[in-house]
A and B are shown apart, each in its own frame.
Chain A
Amino acid sequence: MLNVRLYMLQRLSALVMAPLVVGHIAVMIVAVQGGLTTAEILSRTQGSLWWMLFYGLFVIAVSVHAAIGLRVVAYEWLGVKQKLSALLSIIVFIGLLILGMRAVFAVTLS
């Protein structure tokens, strides 16, 4: 089911995600202090290359990590055939990547 490439991709993506999750939660805690409004969020993110890179990298790592994880779940728990679970994981990867990147560009491009 998992070869060395997928195994390492999943671990490396987890490694990338760990500090980003902490950063994301920290920003959320700080951001809600003054009330959570669309304008307040957009004022921080729009036109910011830094936030684009932060969440862009986050989305790539999540897409890779979730797709590989779901591939194994589909095969081992849901009894999906190996080739189909591989195909499903590619669809999940592309889907999460498109949805995530659209959201990142929507809030960071001014």
Chain B
Amino acid sequence: MTDSNTETLNVSVWRGDASGGQFRDYQVPVQENQTVLDVVTWIQQKIDDTLSYRFACRVGMCGSCAMTVNGEPRWTCRTHVNRVTQSSSLEIGPLRNLPVIKDLTTDMDPFFDKWTKAGGTHRASRSRNDGMVPVDPASKERMIASEGIECINCAVCYAACDTVAANPQYLGPASLQRAWTLVNDEKHDDRSAVLRAVAAEGGCYNCHSHGSCTRYCPVELNPMKAVAGLKRTTVAKLWGK
């Protein structure tokens, strides 16, 4: 990065907690190759150290820094300011569809609770004494599973989903995609239990295929396709196939 120049960015950052809050304006110097997370960090370090936000790896792997940037959910560590600014202004808020703890930090519990509810916990089909299940990387099932395993659990899809916003029971795209990878994983024990979990109330049938999950997924996965796979497979089970 070069040194700061005279250009400044007008940044509105949501400040508050579970009881409410509002956007507060900050002036941040423009820098080359500046990410949204850089902007938030600059405010926290140079202007107001009470600003709360969450991040860890800064390289798009840990999935902890997602926020709402100019109205859209994004991973902030990999979002360059110059790609999202509108007339050198930036609005940064907490993720939608999750309870706010403070400022830009949301409570991720509902997200991970639903992940578990959708049968997302891995249950090994063999013990350490049984040896490995042979998995052919080119098999159809494995290729389907591989499409979804790079999820970083950033909850961008969960925040983008209008069905989650309207229907609090709905498990959401990330947990259902995780379930779909397990349904296609030969190493997972009792895959029909996963299918039962996603067919229960709040499960895959509530998806309206709006496609916001797939549109906003920062690692370009396709949760909508995974949910469609779950609908198809659970219905086929109903017909004994």
Chain A residues near B234 (CB-CB < 8 A):
4
A1 touches B235 (CB 8 A): no
Asked whether A77 and B166 contact (CB < 8 A) given A3-B199, A4-B199, A4-B234, the answer is yes
Pick from B167, B202, B235: contact of A76, CB below 8 A.
B167
How far is it, in angstroms, between the C-alpha of A4 and the C-alpha of B202 when the chains are bound?
Answer: 11
How far is it, in angstroms, between the C-alpha of A75 and the C-alpha of B205 when the chains are bound?
Answer: 15
A1 touches B206 (CB 8 A): yes
A8 at interface (Cβ–Cβ under 8 A)? Answer: yes
How far is it, in angstroms, between the C-alpha of A3 and the C-alpha of B235 when the chains are bound?
Answer: 11
| A1-29 to B contact mask, C-beta < 8 Å, 1/0 | 11110111000000000000000000000
Write the nearest CB–CB distance from A75 to chain B, whole angstroms.
7
Smallest CB gap from B238: residue in A: A4
Chain B residues near A6 (CB-CB < 8 A):
205
How far is it, in angstroms, between the C-alpha of A6 and the C-alpha of B199 when the chains are bound?
Answer: 12
How far is it, in angstroms, between the C-alpha of A3 and the C-alpha of B170 when the chains are bound?
Answer: 12
> Residues of A within 8 Å of B, CB-based: how many?
10
A3 touches B163 (CB 8 A): no
Residues 35-83 (chain A) with a chain B CB within 8 angstroms: 75-77
Q: A-B contact count, CB below 8 Å?
A: 29
B238 touches A76 (CB 8 A): no
How far is it, in angstroms, between the C-alpha of A6 and the C-alpha of B235 when the chains are bound?
Answer: 12
Chain B residues near A8 (CB-CB < 8 A):
235, 238
Chain A residues near B205 (CB-CB < 8 A):
2-4, 6-7
B201 at interface (Cβ–Cβ under 8 A)? Answer: yes
Chain A residues near B200 (CB-CB < 8 A):
3
A4 touches B235 (CB 8 A): yes
| B124-166 to A contact mask, C-beta < 8 Å, 1/0 | 0000000000000000000000000000000000000001001
Which of B163, B169, B201, B205: most chain A Cβ within 10 A? B205
Chain B residues near A76 (CB-CB < 8 A):
163, 166-167
Residues 209-241 (chain B) with a chain A CB within 8 angstroms: 231, 234-235, 238
Chain A residues near B166 (CB-CB < 8 A):
75-77
Chain B residues near A3 (CB-CB < 8 A):
199-201, 205
Residues of B in contact with A (beta carbons under 8 Å apart): 163, 166-167, 169-170, 199-202, 205-206, 231, 234-235, 238
